[in-house]
Structure 1
């Protein structure tokens, strides 16, 4: 059992190393193979413990940035909660192992659990999905065909097929010899499926072009506290936009400001309102302002506001996925904490419900705010309603000295590939960038600097296969996982001894 736990811990660390800052994505299938080997031939309870060990090693490491930016208590609480999901997968391994083609069933369960933890509890936590590690690899292009969910499934399947192949080559292993070429052929087939789009990428047809300016106004030192300098932050974005308006040459079609470029309500604070109007007048085109807007005494809205030089504020997008214990306190009526970083959350942030794109300078723009980009529904729904261009307004100031900003930017690049769209990111102090539909970073600003990126981007209304499939991959894999657990549970119970202990026949030994 100790050896199994050590293998699970090493595999969890390997999966963490697949993501930024180490970013060795080729470790993903090896980590999943290690998980499958570590939980093989264990009882349900022991497999759950080993799976939990994997989750602890992976998630506590993967979101280490939370400890450094938000606080140790939040890091421990969230990491522990997320590790439980991997323990749950471990509990199901002995059941699914009873089924033919168990790697398929286990990959479906892994993918389904990723979907569950991305939406529950509260607003969920999508960080750590296998597909998020795929940027800058030959398999990244496949996300346009498979979606993030489908890519996670096939990456998991590759790892579990690798484990099946290893098991057949072990001396005295249980699987019959004829299963060896099946596992090998399956692995080769999955890898070929994932790599093929790199040779034949899905390219959406452009319907036009636009020039977009993304403003990174920067934050005064210590660079990780917007609220301490919120007025200066707004002035920085105003000044940068005014300078842009004075530059010779053609003007952009619109300007994108980041989330929290105004950390107070721009409709109620006179100086903030005047600054925005001055910037919009100077540049002479719409500015998409990132503002925190009051919604009564108990709530606020995190919005992208289209501010026109003639008509003033108009269309708005409201952040759909506020972060629990970061932007709102669940069950505040029963428990209102007043300690640590939670003390700063005086009012809860409401979730937006908009699914249509913003109208900006005659362009249909799908907007997302910060962590929204990690959720499948935000961009997908707006794309299906005609979005021609993607924008992300983000304020990563709290994480500016951590690896979170790199992890989020990697996710953002994958969204560009998945959607087949150009994508423009504006951040308060990093990472601001312009991303092509193939994930290439066309332009970027150095973190903790003031910069304005002006780039011509393509527009398109064509939908990739991934976007057209919508939520169906998640539904299919969740349904498949549920069927597998039920059938595996039945098979598991049938193969137990009369006293209720697992059968220990030579072909189905349970390692304890």
Structure 2
């Protein structure tokens, strides 16, 4: 009976947390309601406040699972079971957050510890297992918000801290236990953060030089890449689009590019092994007369392995520098525990050969300009971006293939993440996709060009070359490490305080006073 009563008390809190998780999912593309972040966070905290640690785990699980179910429904293209498994896995990180947050909320400085704990949760989710999945960070929702400009100074982890802090400040204003003084402080702090952010002006100026680049979206016959004939069609689509670009250049209706960018999987057949594919690429390169950065799947380096790469193909010297994707997608490009899982999950056989990760950053010097090549999902990983910019990248390039997820909202989410990377790094980002979304994003996060999906699109842009590093790049991973450390410190202090409360126990009532009786002689 006691357990049923306890469950009855927890379930309304779980329901509130589920609602908060759904609202947070709607803050992101393709729904794009970033203001919901500062409603969802305080609603989640309200559900946790006053709950036990065990209840906090259930409340956090309800929040996290719902959040990811709304955020990444596009994974159902792979399978409903895959989408459910990912939502549960990522939801467990917020279950742990909820467990500890119930205790951290009792601390005097809870307004500091809670957003730090949020950053620690995002850091854990972005790191484990199998390299993590950093798709659900609060910062990604802010590409159109003035607050998003702070990413140039504090990076993506620091921006997530600011967003969580704004949610905490809203909660502090509405929390019943808050004093009037605390409410005023929270309100002033929130207004100062939002108002101060709107005053930030980000520069688009380069080092005085520019480069003209062409992004080629050749389109695909359908969703995904399946058979050899289809792969050849994709390559020839990009060849045809490139030849058409050169025709317009010769007619004088288009500027001649210094470099042409083809997307990830623009050839799904190794051009070093297949003469027909190699001939298609060389025809395109000789036609435009400038290097093409080709997205190619190469055989090796080991048996039954492949690599997703960007290959610089020069019209005079042929193929040169190669960047191999450093962060392939688990269960999408390779199978962890392959030998153990394949006998039980036959669908995994569709993945084919294991994708071997590259070892070095995609720093690609091409005719006097240094490009930072990033391939598809790995743009969500901080170290991949930091390494290319610190390696000297003056312009960022994203080669991607979103054909499998076309029309699901995933391409829009990835485009928003790319916009935040432009702000964080202060670099122009050139995006080439097989089927969309391709485009050009300025260093301020402003969209210069955005293609449609499942259409041919060729866009030529003249963009600034930039050498200066933003404060976010200079700081590197320090904001994330410091904020995560503070989050862990908050947990330790909360657990120590909890132990002291248990040891002290309930305060004993004062003993009644007795009058001293006079003893007769």
Please classify the TM superposition score into its range, dividing by the shorter chain length: over 0.9
Q: Count residues with an aligned counterpart.
A: 493
Match of 2:296 among 291, 295, 301: 291
Residue of structure 2 in register with 1:416 after alignment? 422
- Establish whether residue 346 from structure 1 lines up as the match of residue 347 from structure 2: no
The answer to whether the 8 Å contact 1:70/1:341 transfers is: no
What whole-Å deviation, never above 9, does each CA across 1:230-288 have from its counterpart, x for those lacking one? 01000111111122223324521010000000111111011101111111111110000
Offset at residue 99 of structure 1 (A): 2.0
- Write out aligned runs for 1:391-402 (5 A): 391-402=397-408
- Write out aligned runs for 1:37-52 (5 A): 37-52=46-61
Match of 2:471 among 461, 465, 469: 465
* Bigger Cα displacement from structure 2, 284-293 vs 117-126: 117-126
Offset at residue 339 of structure 1 (A): 4.0
- Establish whether residue 256 from structure 1 lines up as the match of residue 265 from structure 2: no
1:455 aligns to what SS in structure 2? Answer: strand
Offset at residue 81 of structure 1 (A): 0.3
Larger radius of gyration, structure 1 or 2?
A: 2
Residue of structure 1 in register with 2:484 after alignment? 478
- Establish whether residue 154 from structure 1 lines up as the match of residue 155 from structure 2: no
Offset at residue 196 of structure 1 (A): 3.5
Residue of structure 1 in register with 2:514 after alignment? none
Residue of structure 1 in register with 2:152 after alignment? 144
The answer to whether the 8 Å contact 2:64/2:92 transfers is: yes
Tell me: CA distance 1:261–1:3, structure 2 relative to 1, closer, same or farther (3 Å): same
Offset at residue 181 of structure 1 (A): 2.3
- Write out aligned runs for 1:51-66 (5 A): 51-66=60-75
Measure, in 2, the Cα distance between the counterparts of 1:337 and 1:18.
40
Measure, in 2, the Cα distance between the counterparts of 1:234 and 1:487.
58
Measure, in 1, the Cα distance between the counterparts of 2:108 and 2:320.
57
- Establish whether residue 243 from structure 1 lines up as the match of residue 248 from structure 2: no
- Establish whether residue 379 from structure 1 lines up as the match of residue 385 from structure 2: yes
Note the residue ranges of structure 2 that are not aligned, 5 or more in a row.
Answer: 1-9, 509-521
The answer to whether the 8 Å contact 1:85/1:113 transfers is: yes
Residue of structure 2 in register with 1:509 after alignment? none
Measure, in 2, the Cα distance between the counterparts of 1:155 and 1:340.
42
2:265 aligns to what SS in structure 1? Answer: coil
Note the residue ranges of structure 1 that are not aligned, 5 or more in a row.
Answer: 506-512
What whole-Å deviation, never above 9, does each CA across 1:96-119 have from its counterpart, x for those lacking one? 123222021110111111111112
Tell me: CA distance 1:323–1:315, structure 2 relative to 1, closer, same or farther (3 Å): same
Measure, in 2, the Cα distance between the counterparts of 1:23 and 1:337.
41
- Establish whether residue 329 from structure 1 lines up as the match of residue 335 from structure 2: yes
Measure, in 1, the Cα distance between the counterparts of 2:156 and 2:492.
26
What whole-Å deviation, never above 9, does each CA across 1:437-486 have from its counterpart, x for those lacking one? 11122123221111211111111111111111111111111111111111
- Establish whether residue 429 from structure 1 lines up as the match of residue 454 from structure 2: no
Match of 1:278 among 275, 278, 283: 283
| TM-score normalised by structure 1 residue count | 0.92
- Establish whether residue 181 from structure 1 lines up as the match of residue 184 from structure 2: yes
Measure, in 2, the Cα distance between the counterparts of 1:79 and 1:235.
38
Tell me: CA distance 1:225–1:293, structure 2 relative to 1, closer, same or farther (3 Å): closer
| TM-score normalised by structure 2 residue count | 0.91
Match of 1:116 among 104, 121, 124: 124
